Amino acid sequence: MSRLWVRIFTGMLLSNAIAMVGVVLAYQPRVGDHRERVRARDASVIARVAELALDARDELGVAGATRVLDDARATTGLRVSVADARGNVILGDAEPAVAIAAVESAARDRVGVPLGPPYEFWQGVRVRDGWVAVGEPTQPEDVLGVSPPVMQLLVVALLAMFVSGLLARWTSGPLRTLREASQRLLAGRGEVRVAPGISRWADSEARALAQDFDRMAERIEGLLASRERLLRDVSHELRSPLARLNVALELARERVTDDAQPLLDRIQKESERLDELIGLVLSMAKLDQASQAAESTTFALDRLLIDVCDDAAFEAESVGRRIELISSAPFTIVGDEELLRQAIENVVRNGLRWTPEGTAVEVSLRREKHEDGPATILIEVRDQGPGVPDDALEEIFQPFARVDTARERSAGGVGLGLAITARALALHGGDARAQNVDGGGLRVTLELPLRHEGGGLA
């Protein structure tokens, strides 16, 4: 949102700057015309003062002429001197070089035109008997007349910056409020409403957008509440019949012959499978609804991984397979321990399901450095199974995903384990990905952010 504020502020400031430049350009011809009028007026005054000074010299001597020149400087603001046709200063205190330049300029009848650098403000005007009046304003900047007022323009620029900042804030403020509300809504932080916080001085379109957002937020909250109620109802309505079914199965075992036992075993197996499926569906639904891990505790990730591998090793031995923890490193992290345990178990048990009999599922825990980013924690689980097609490596983390390989539904699983793993990692700021290994097998990598050296923060 700060970028939007900067763009609005910059746009307004540029528009003001362009307007001020336009004013200066339009004003410049007037400045030039005024300068010419001021110089022509000064030339006339300089000539008149020189005439008076020459008359005073004839009547009162040099002292009288000097008084005339001093009085003229006090009253008109012009410093006047008189030079002869060769540039010798007769009256006044002009420098010889200035007097010579003034004589040359007067010889060309350049009345009202400055002598040029470094005598930019001096003028030379011919008077009687070949005398030349040499004059300069005592405050040369006055010659510029109504020049572009730099200080005024600076004040206007600062005022334009201030007003542009206020307008930019006024324009982007409602959008900033909407963004903050969207983040709260995404995080599931209770009821979110925007319209009451929008100023009544805000733009009508912004107020209308805030009202639309409030209606959308109300609708989303209603849908989420309905979904939560549905999950609770599904959990209760489905699991209650399953519980009664299991009770009925136990009673049936006591009353049927041995020939019917295999059928009852099959019913019980499917009942357990259905119960597992319901639990996974509910877990997936809850994870999809969450925006962050429900609980956070500090625990040793390496210890958790060892416990998962030890538990899975009992199942592996019964089917002629092994679990090998080939490498590990100590990491203490903050996160939902049970959720991460389930995520890792899903991957390890998935590897056991597909690795051939007599082979091992290899598990490792290590730290990985990145040149363009912070270091991460990697948990890698590799099986020796058939792998999956390369174009399906991302799909296996989707709910109920199936690929056309030996990993078929008949081989076990309901297609939710890896999806739950991916969602659990995402809630901890991590990621899950899969890769086929040269020589056979699938490697699933679980990545968690490493927030500081010596430990992780999931």
Positions annotated as catalytic residues are 236
Single-letter code of the amino acid located at 144: L
Single-letter code of the amino acid located at 1: M
Q: 453-456, long-range: CB within 8 Å, 24+ apart, which pairs?
A: 453/375, 455/331, 455/332, 455/333, 456/301, 456/331, 456/332, 456/333, 456/377
In DSSP terms, which residues pair with 366 in a beta bridge? 378
| Residue indicated by tokens 């805000």 | 202
Tokens of 20: 């001020």
Number of Cβ within 10 Å of residue 430's Cβ equals 22
Collect all residues with Cβ–Cβ distance below 8 Å to 124 and sequence separation of at least 6: 101, 102, 103, 104, 105, 106, 110, 115, 132, 133, 134
26 by Cβ neighbours in 10 Å (0-12 / 13-18 / 19+) ranks as: exposed
Number of Cβ within 10 Å of residue 398's Cβ equals 14
Q: 356-360, long-range: CB within 8 Å, 24+ apart, which pairs?
A: 356/384, 356/385, 357/319, 357/320, 357/321, 358/320, 358/321, 359/321, 359/322, 359/383, 359/384, 360/321, 360/322, 360/323, 360/324, 360/384
Sign of CA pseudo-dihedral 334, 339, 341, 345: negative
3-state secondary structure of 80: strand
Closest by CA to 432, choosing from 419, 445, 443, is 445
Calpha distance 322→324 (Å, rounded): 6
Tokens of 69: 């020149």
Calpha distance 224→230 (Å, rounded): 10
Calpha distance 106→264 (Å, rounded): 128
In DSSP terms, which residues pair with 361 in a beta bridge? 323
Closest by CA to 351, choosing from 299, 303, 302, 308, is 308
